[in-house]
Amino acid sequence: MNKVNNPCLNYSTRLKTASVLVHKAIEAIKHKDIQKRNLIWLELTGCSGNIISLLNGANPDFKSLASQMVNFIYDNSLMAAEGEAAMEKLYSMTGRDYILAVEGAVSTKDNGLYNIIGRWKGHPVTAYEVIKEFGEQAAYVIAVGTCASDGGISAARPNPAGCIGIQDMLDRKVIKLPGCPCHPDWFMGTLAYVMLFGEPETDNRQRPLMFYSTLIHDICPRRPYFDQGIFASKLGEKTCMFKLGCRGPVTRVDCPIRKWNDRVNWPIGDNTPCIGCAMFGFPDQMEPFISYDTT
């Protein structure tokens, strides 16, 4: 299932990017070369699928992240505290050093009241307010997933909740890790990189080049079929998915190398087209996802 005959030259090195960085960060913390940083993870207007994806991280896993790499201060899905006590942990970070990870878009309709993340001193706190309050002050802001990066499916037409990506709310650089969901390696690797070296090199859409510089189509294992004009006419076939609407030719991310869930598979490996979930404009600009008559 995990084929090594991939057309990428640096295949084995690139597979290890995230784990090498994370292990290096953990070692540096042990040797007191760098300090553990505080991490706030905000789930905003989305499906909370990126924190679930983070739990799928394998090497190293969530336990290493939470126990050896960062002080995990806040996350709605995982923290033991609830109610006001949970919000106190978030607000205890005001004026302190922290890295902010955000999943989900920001709902702007009706003063942001379509997404309340908690109550602080009796008042409802909207996603809109919390991103303003904690986004500007963070040491780094990492947009995790397509909704936080560019609005994503939460902003799909007619955009009933008036969703926007977090960069549109902030007058500062946001590092974007689009993908629906974000691959755990992309987040873990980026987090380790900023702790070790500061901001990683990014492209013109603020995506770290170490994960987002490859066009899927260029290293797709089914590229030979494309070059020979052998196209699948329905899902389930083992040839090129281009005529079914594959967005590999426009999507920049390293899925063909990294694959998903302990590297066992990925959408094209599952005989389905890439739907461009890591792309600006997903989903509206990437549809139809599946079409039998694109010729």
Partner 1 sequence: MIKTKKIVINPVTRISGFMEINADIDNNIVEDARTEGLLFRGFEKMLEGRSPLDAVYFTQRICGICSAAHSVASTMALEDALGIHISEQGRYLRDIIHGCEFLQNHIRHFYQYTAPDFIKFPEGNTLFETDHTDFRLPQNKNDSVVGHYFDSLEYSRSAHEMLAILGGKAPHNHGVFIGGITTQATLEKISRLRSLIVGIRRFVCEKMIPDAYTIAEYYHEYFSIGGGYGNLLTFGCFNGYERLGSLYVKPLEYSEGKINELYPGEITETVYSSWYTARPETYMPFETIPEPDIKKSGAYSWVKAPRYRGLAYEVGPLARMWLSGDYRNGISTMDRTLARVLEAKKIANIMLTLLDHLIPGVEVQKEYDIPHSAYGAGLIDTTRGALGHWVKIENQVISLYQIITPSVWNLSTRDRNNLPGPGEKAMIGTMIINPDSPVELGRIIRSFDPCVSCATHVYSKGNLIKTMQVVP
- Member of 8, 78, 196, 250 binding partner 1 (CB under 8 A): 78
> x/- contact string, 220-249, with partner 1 (CB under 8 A)?
-------------xxxxx------------
Cβ–Cβ < 8 Å for 135, 100: yes
Burial of 290 (0-12, 13-18, 19+ CB in 10 A): middle
> x/- contact string, 102-141, with partner 1 (CB under 8 A)?
-----x--x--xxxxxxx--x-x-----------------
Cβ–Cβ < 8 Å for 108, 114: no
Give the 3-state secondary structure of residue 179: coil
Across the beta sheet with 140-144, the strand order is 70-74, 37-43, 99-103, 140-144, 175-177
Residue 74 CB, shortest distance to partner 1, in Å, is 8
Residue 164 CB, shortest distance to partner 1, in Å, is 13
Query: Tokens representing 268?
Result: 């094209």
Residue 55 CB, shortest distance to partner 1, in Å, is 6
CB of 20 or CB of 113, closer to partner 1: 113
Query: Tokens representing 204?
Result: 């013109």
Q: How many residues does the chain have?
A: 295
CB of 197 or CB of 235, closer to partner 1: 235
The identity of residue 99, as a single letter, is I
Residue 172 CB, shortest distance to partner 1, in Å, is 25
For residues 147-206, which are near partner 1 according to CB under 8 A?
Answer: 152-154, 156-158, 160-161, 163, 180-181
Residue 107 CB, shortest distance to partner 1, in Å, is 7
Query: Tokens representing 146?
Result: 């397509």
Residue 261 CB, shortest distance to partner 1, in Å, is 4
CB of 32 or CB of 201, closer to partner 1: 32
Residue 199 CB, shortest distance to partner 1, in Å, is 25
CB of 101 or CB of 202, closer to partner 1: 101
CA 45 to chain centre: 14
Query: Tokens representing 90?
Result: 């978030």
For residues 246-275, which are near partner 1 according to CB under 8 A?
Answer: 260-262, 264-267, 269-272, 275
Interacting residues of 58 by C-beta distance below 8 A, sequence separation 6+: 184, 262
Does 2 bind partner 1 (CB under 8 A)? Our answer is no
Does 96 bind partner 1 (CB under 8 A)? Our answer is no
Q: Which residue has the tokens 């329905």?
A: 234
**What does the alpha-carbon distance between residue 132 and residue 222 come to, in Å, rounded to a whole number?**
44
- Member of 27, 82, 199, 218 binding partner 1 (CB under 8 A): 82
CB of 121 or CB of 204, closer to partner 1: 121
**What does the alpha-carbon distance between residue 53 and residue 37 come to, in Å, rounded to a whole number?**
21
**What is the size of the binding site for partner 1 (CB under 8 A)?**
83
Does 15 bind partner 1 (CB under 8 A)? Our answer is no
Does 71 bind partner 1 (CB under 8 A)? Our answer is yes
**What does the alpha-carbon distance between residue 114 and residue 105 come to, in Å, rounded to a whole number?**
12
For residues 29-68, which are near partner 1 according to CB under 8 A?
Answer: 43, 45-53, 55-56, 58, 61-63, 66-67
Q: Are strands 37-43 and 106-107 parallel, antiparallel or unpaired?
A: unpaired
Give the chain's largest Cα–Cα span.
65
